[in-house]
Amino acid sequence: MGIFLVLSFLSVSVNMVTPPEPLYPIPTPQQIKWHQQEMGMFCHFGINTFHNEEWTDGTKLAESFNPTDFNPQQWADVAKNVGMGYLILTVKHHDGFVLYPTMHTDYCVRLSPWQNGQGDVVKGVSEACKKAGIYFGFYLSPWDRHEPRYNDNTAYDEYFKSLLREVITNYGPVFEVWFDGAGTKGHKYDWEGYYQLIKQLEPNALIAICGPDIRWVGNEDGLAPETLWNVQERDGKKVWWPAECDVPIRKGQWFYHTDGENRLLSLNQLLKIYYYSVGRGAVLLLNVSPDRSGHLPEPDVSRLLEWRNVITETFKTNLAEGAHWSASNVRGNAKEFSPEMCLKENDNLYWATDDNVLNASITLHFSKPVIFDRVVLKEQISLGQRVEGHSIWVKKGKSFEKVDSGTTIGYKRIHCIPQQKTKEIRIQIDKSLACPTLDFVGIYQSSPHDLKTLK
């Protein structure tokens, strides 16, 4: 009996097909979790909120910060309800005003009449995020237009590290630390010291924008480029450095302005941002500014919910679940790498080809024609980003016709195409740096309220 078991084990071992080797660099587990959130909410809130200004100069009185009905749970609940996986709060903007009662400066909520100087915005937001089930992150501006120590690099670095230490220690866990580069040109910061302190106190926290883990996409419009590589050159070497797209829901206004409602982005503008950020493999950080009461404004919330409902309606039914799948190549002809592994996302199951096959396809066969205009593709990014070119084909008559094409896929790629009716859909990998891997393929018919064109 023992010999039989040993021989059976050896037989299974010999027949196992090895997975593809990773194409380095690859994301850390923390970066993969960040990719999977797809969207976060930015909340710019501070002394600027009470002055109809974007960048105050550090001279506004602390007494002017005085929300009348601070409600961070509303912020976090709205973020959760519209599909945001995390929320980032501006703990200190360029004006230097700090939103918790620190003893390292008097320019903070301690000197505000709000809650008799006992208020703590950061605590409220952090606890609200935990209750809502989303991750908490914070923005701490390196630039400081109030703090006299800013002119002394060493003294200011110590002050800045003191704030970092307090926020991470007292309000964690922290998902993302956001460093703005505005106003910092020519000033020397101890960036490496900041990074080391963050990683020491919160090893899982990701450092964004002026940081090693997440990069800025390069604009404040929420739009990623057509070709988006997560692998970038940084400090002389290639690293996994994915892009975050930040944009305010009120055009050009990060902080609340009393006359800003007419700048609220339309449903179509928000949908375009979604498809050109999340739909191109980036993560979308959408700013929604709390008003002077301490609530997210009702018009903004209504627009967010309208937007979320359209996205949900578009992607609620994956037509691919009713298909028969085939592929031009399956790694080792093994079931564990068959195209059917693309039916569920983020489950560590995926389609892969043999190592020497860089051009391959998956075909979905339907028993009756399906109508669709959205195609979602995802690579197995834990093994690296590989695809350089791909295309979508549909069967028309006896031959296939190309209906769309693209370059990179990365974590997620959404194709918005003219409506098609067919019994066969082919996903073609035209060019790849190594054997392609696909984690997910989704076929959808858009909501009647969704965009019909992105042009």
Q: In angstroms, rounded to a whole number, what is the distance separating the alpha carbons of residues 341 and 436? A: 14
Residue ranges in 136-262 assigned as alpha helix (H): 153-171, 191-201
Q: Where are the domains of the chain?
A: 29-314, 319-444
If you ran DSSP here, which 8-state letter would residue 190 be given? -
pLDDT in tens, the chain (455 residues): 444 444 344 434 346 899 999 999 999 999 999 999 999 999 999 999 999 999 999 999 999 999 999 999 999 999 999 999 999 999 999 999 999 999 999 999 999 999 999 999 999 999 999 999 999 999 999 999 999 999 999 999 999 999 999 999 999 999 999 999 998 888 999 999 999 999 999 999 999 999 999 999 999 999 999 999 999 999 899 999 999 999 999 999 999 999 999 999 999 999 999 999 999 999 999 999 999 999 999 999 999 999 999 999 999 999 999 999 999 999 999 999 999 999 999 999 999 999 999 999 999 999 999 999 999 999 999 999 999 999 999 999 999 999 999 999 999 999 999 999 999 999 999 999 999 999 999 999 999 999 988 86
Q: In angstroms, rounded to a whole number, what is the distance separating the alpha carbons of residues 159 and 194? A: 11
Q: Which tokens hold the place of 397?
A: 């008559």
Of 266, 247, 276, 218, which Cα lies nearest the Cα of 455?
Answer: 276
Task: Give domain 319-444's CATH architecture.
Answer: Sandwich (2.60)
This prediction's pTM: 0.95
- Helix 121-132 to helix 72-81 angle (10° resolution) is 30
Q: In CATH, which of 1.25.40.80, 3.20.20.80, 3.30.70.580, 3.40.1160.10 is domain 29-314?
A: 3.20.20.80
Residues 281, 412: contact at Cβ < 8 Å? yes
Residues 157, 190: contact at Cβ < 8 Å? yes
In this predicted model, what pLDDT tens digit does every residue of 143-201 receive, in sequence order? 999 999 999 999 999 999 999 999 999 999 999 999 999 988 889 999 999 999 999 99
Q: In angstroms, rounded to a whole number, what is the distance separating the alpha carbons of residues 394 and 31? A: 35
Q: How many helices (H) and strands (E) does the chain have?
A: 8, 17
Phi, psi dihedral angles at 421 (to 5 degrees)? -130, 120
In this predicted model, what pLDDT tens digit does every residue of 313-341 receive, in sequence order? 999 999 999 999 999 999 999 999 999 99
In this predicted model, what pLDDT tens digit does every residue of 84-129 receive, in sequence order? 999 999 999 999 999 999 999 999 999 999 999 999 999 999 999 9
pLDDT of residue 245: 98
* Amino acid code (one letter) for 163: L
Q: In angstroms, rounded to a whole number, what is the distance separating the alpha carbons of residues 251 and 229? A: 27
Q: In angstroms, rounded to a whole number, what is the distance separating the alpha carbons of residues 432 and 437? A: 10
Sign of CA dihedral 228, 230, 231, 232: positive
Residues 304, 400: contact at Cβ < 8 Å? no
For residue 389, give the 3-state DSSP assignment.
strand
Q: In angstroms, rounded to a whole number, what is the distance separating the alpha carbons of residues 208 and 205? A: 10
Q: Which tokens hold the place of 86?
A: 């995390």
Sign of CA dihedral 28, 216, 390, 307: positive
